[in-house]
Amino acid sequence: MFKTLLLSILLAGFCTQSYAQADSLMDMLNSGAPAKKEKVSATFKATRIIDGSSVENLGPGILDFRIAHRFGQLNQGSQNFFGIDDATTKIGLDYGITRWLMIGLAHSVLNKEDDGFAKVKLYSQKTGGMPVTISYVGAVSIQTAPAPSIPAGDSWYASNRFYYTNQVLVARKFSDRISLQIMPTIVHYNLVDSTKFSNNTFAIGLGGRIKVSKRIAITGEYYYRLNNTDLLYNGAKTYNALSVGIDIETGGHVFQLMLTNSQGLSERGFIGQTTDSWSKGALHFGFNISRVFTIVKPKEFR
């Protein structure tokens, strides 16, 4: 039900804005005026839609201090204070090197995971020109928790702790209110039961934003796995990750509130290792807080 509702909203926005832009283009052709090729900005408000990356980059010299928090299952009831007693946190620092390159480092309490990423903006959407923005994200994560107990005769390697993610982000801002993004993704798990599963999980992500006021927007994100759909995590069945949220901008802060079936805070976790399901009511409330700082002032402000 929630998946159908989310996809219906996003597709409705896509169709509506497509017709509107077609009319605008026809008016431009009839007038004989050439279209100006100007970069489209603010496709999304933050560098993350909810869990996954957006096509937005930090400007050069900008540092983003991020805190992500996901509580336990809401249906745990008062025993765990509706999930508050079973929370996980991720703290990260992202930095803009150039207008097209940003990097980030973070640490998550869940599985004591450290991760790093680089995001490269390859093409920018332009009015009267490039119809979409395209970015690439490459990430690596390592779990630093103690090695598990293994049967006698088996070996445990340091490489078992590593995971790798490669993503292409393709986004279009249809209007000041509606933006959509598609995210083909590959997550490589060094350690899986290779007799049953592939080391590579292929997924297609769909994200979107509907702006409802100057400072508030509704967001959604869904990752559909093309293989490894029956992948197990710690012996439990896994599900596709679906999240809905609200972005609230307050000056230098961006607050993101969400409901999601995943507690994972990296692509490794929420794409291939989500063990909770919306249909079973196993939902998590969470939030992201972002605070940006200017470390190196742009030349024009010196």
Residue 29 confidence (pLDDT): 41
pLDDT tens for residues 118-165?
A: 999 999 999 989 999 999 999 999 998 888 777 777 778 889 999 999
DSSP class of residue 147?
Answer: P
pTM assigned to the model: 0.84
CA-nearest of 95, 42, 87, 96 to 68 is 87
The confidence score (pLDDT) of residue 17 equals 46
If one counts every other C-beta atom within 10 angstroms of the C-beta of residue 134, the result is: 16
Of 121-125, 286-290, 294-298, the poorest mean pLDDT is in 294-298
**Percentage of the chain lying above the pLDDT 70 cut:** 87
What is residue 25's three-state secondary structure?
helix
Q: What pLDDT digit, counting tens, does each position of 216-247 carry? A: 999 999 999 999 999 988 889 999 999 999 99
Q: What is the CA radius of gyration of the chain?
A: 20
Chain-centroid distance of CA 149 in Å reads 33
**Pick from 253, 246, 249, 256: which is nearest to 292 by CA?**
253
**Contact of 298 with 264, CB cutoff 8 Å:** no
Q: What is the mean pLDDT of residues 241-269?
A: 91
Least reliable range by pLDDT among 3-7, 30-34, 263-267: 3-7
Mean pLDDT, rounded, of the chain: 86
Tens digits of per-residue pLDDT, 78-108? 777 777 888 899 999 999 999 999 999 999 9
Instruction: Say how far apart CA 127 and CA 148 lie, in whole Å.
Output: 54
Interior CA angle at 147 toward 144 and 148, to 5°?
130
At residue 85, the pLDDT reads: 80
Q: Contact, 284 vs 70, CB < 8 A?
A: yes
Q: Is the pLDDT of residue 188 over 90?
A: yes
Q: What per-residue confidence (pLDDT) applies to 34? A: 57
Would you place residue 26 in the very low, low, confident or very high pLDDT band (cuts 50, 70, 90)?
A: very low
Q: For 213, phi and psi rounded to 5 degrees?
A: -155, 180
140, two tokens: 């690596």
Q: What is the mean pLDDT of residues 282-287?
A: 93
Cα separation, 301 vs 38, in Å, equals: 23
CA–CA dist 25, 23 (Å, integer): 5
Asked whether residue 9 carries a pLDDT value surpassing 70, the answer given is no
**How far apart are the C-alpha atoms of 131 and 152, rounded to whole Å?**
57
Average pLDDT estimate for 203-222 = 96
Locate 291 and state its tokens. Answer: 């605070």
The band of 32, judged by pLDDT with boundaries at 50, 70 and 90, is low
State the first-to-last Cα distance of the chain, in angstroms, to the nearest integer: 53
pLDDT at 21: 47
**Tally of residues, the chain:** 302
- Residue 70 per-residue DSSP state: E
Contact status, residue 188 vs residue 212, Cβ threshold 8 Å: no
Give all domains of the chain, ordered by start, each with its CATH number: 2-147+154-297 (2.40.160.40)
Residue 268: DSSP 8-state: H
What three-state secondary structure class fits 60? Answer: coil
Q: What is the 8-class DSSP label of residue 7?
A: H
* 18: confidence class by pLDDT, cuts 50, 70, 90: very low
